[in-house]
Amino acid sequence: MPHHKHHEKLEKLKEAIKNSPDLTEEEKSNALAIIEEWYIEDLADQEVNLVEMLKAKLLELTAKLEPILAELGFI
């Protein structure tokens, strides 16, 4: 899911919690804190996945470039 869509859903959820007549202020606060924690963890997971994907692509590119660089005498 694109980041902006994810963020929009998060904001809608937070507003629904804040406006809920069935929750106490403490319950709202606790729920919002948990959601923020999940959001931060999700962002961290996305960053780890991006770094792993970038690492794999760089290794793939390096494997293709090494013979060319060796032939040119750079390595």
Which pLDDT tens digit goes with each residue over 29-69?
A: 999 999 999 888 988 888 988 999 999 999 999 999 999 98
Residues with Cβ within 8 Å of 39's Cβ and at least 6 positions away in sequence, in order, are: 10
Buried b (16+ CB within 10 A) or exposed e, 17-47: beeeeeeeeeebeebeeeeeeeeeeeeeeee
Contact call for residues 10 and 37 (beta carbons, < 8 A): no
Q: How confident is the model at residue 75 (pLDDT cuts 50, 70, 90)?
A: confident
Which pLDDT value is given to residue 54? 93
Q: Which domain, by its residues, includes 9?
A: 3-71
For the packed helices 25-71 and 3-18, what is the interaxial angle rounded to 10 degrees?
170
In sign, the C-alpha dihedral spanning 38, 2, 11, 21 is negative
Q: What is the pTM of this model?
A: 0.59
Tell me how many domains the chain contains. Answer: 1
